[in-house]
Amino acid sequence: MVQDDAVPRQHRTVLLHEAVDALVHRPDGTYVDGTFGRGGHSRLILSRLSPEGRLLAIDRDPEAVAHATQGESGIADPRFSIDHNRFADYPAVMARHGVAQLDGLLLDIGVSSPQIDDPARGFSFRHDGPLDMRMDPTRGQSAAEFLATAPKERIAEVVRDYGEERFAPAIARAVVARREAGHVLQRTSELAELLASVVRTRERGQDPATRTFQALRILVNGELDELEQALEASLAALKPGGRLAVISFHSLEDRIVKTFINRHSREEFDRRAPFAEPKPALFNALARIKPSDEEVSGNGRSRSAVLRVAERTDVALPPVWTRP
């Protein structure tokens, strides 16, 4: 997935070969692509699998599911299936397909180029469209609905915490003042214009709307909570030797992935029992990969991407651990 930092372009899968090279270690294994998008990773995974291999794809966006199942872009491969769902719900998808454990799990977090470049989806401050931002437009509250009803303090909290925007209080005041004057924000262009008038300083190469649009998108789609749920579920979902590969595009996501892998890739000592044996690591951290200079020059949206890879050890989970 990508950041909104460029004009519309043909969709390019970020870190395509790096992610699939790290993920597929058994051609006859079973894998999950939790964020199908336009299928770049999935198609390459399928090319690496033997006839006995299997790929379960998931996407919460109905357009992505249609892309995988209809017309010339559809994937007609008996080893492939796709479910319309959140990626955090992959354990339930596994159960429906009779899969007990995985050889690999791939997550490409965030919004895709087709979503950004479609004004009707409301993700981009560069295009005028309805202020929606839902990855699944059939469910949940839109960004416009949130801004039309949320208290000033809640708006400021969201923009500050999810957008890391230091002008969050001023932005919240401006949104509420406009709302109280009878001008509820309904369009992306309206919000972008308001932000341009409130965010007084300019970060080099960054639009004043960038951080607030990011914050609203994360809120509307519950992205950080979903990522944490998916990572925790991987402890039980992956076989010994199974690979976890996660591509993130901003510091909030990457921090969650880094913290999770670090926490589970080292022995844990109980300070209350200094002579007890440490709890062994559940993961081995394998790699942190950034796009090459060549990829960034050809696709500026890949610039902030980070791929982290870990491998499940053969250490069993504690008896008290339950799948989220």
**Binding-site residues for S-adenosyl-L-methionine, please?**
39-41, 59, 87, 108, 115
Q: How far is CA 85 from CA 64, 78, 93, in A?
A: 11, 20, 8
Whose CA is closest to 87, among 241, 253, 250?
Answer: 253
Instruction: Return left, alpha or beta for 222; rule: phi > 0 is left, psi -120 to 50 is alpha, else beta.
Output: left
Q: Are 16 and 28 spatial neighbours (Cβ–Cβ below 8 Å)?
A: no
Say which residues have a Cβ less than 8 Å from residue 103's Cβ, sequence separation at least 6.
25, 26, 29, 30, 31, 238, 239, 241, 242, 243
Q: Hey, CA dihedral for 79, 83, 86, 89, is it positive or negative?
A: negative
Annotated binding site: 39-41, 59, 87, 108, 115
Q: Spell out the SS3 assignment of 192-227.
A: HHHHHHHCCCCCCCCCCCHHHHHHHHHHHHCHHHHH
* Encoded tokens for 94: 């596994």
Specify the 3-state DSSP secondary structure of 250: coil
Q: Hey, CA dihedral for 200, 4, 290, 33, is it positive or negative?
A: positive
Report which residue type is found at 134.
R
Give the whole-angstrom CA distance, residue 15 versus residue 21: 10
- For residue 46, the cross-strand partners are none
Report which residue type is found at 173.
R
* Complete edge-to-edge strand list for the sheet that includes strand 30-33: 80-84, 54-59, 30-33, 102-108, 238-248, 306-312, 283-289
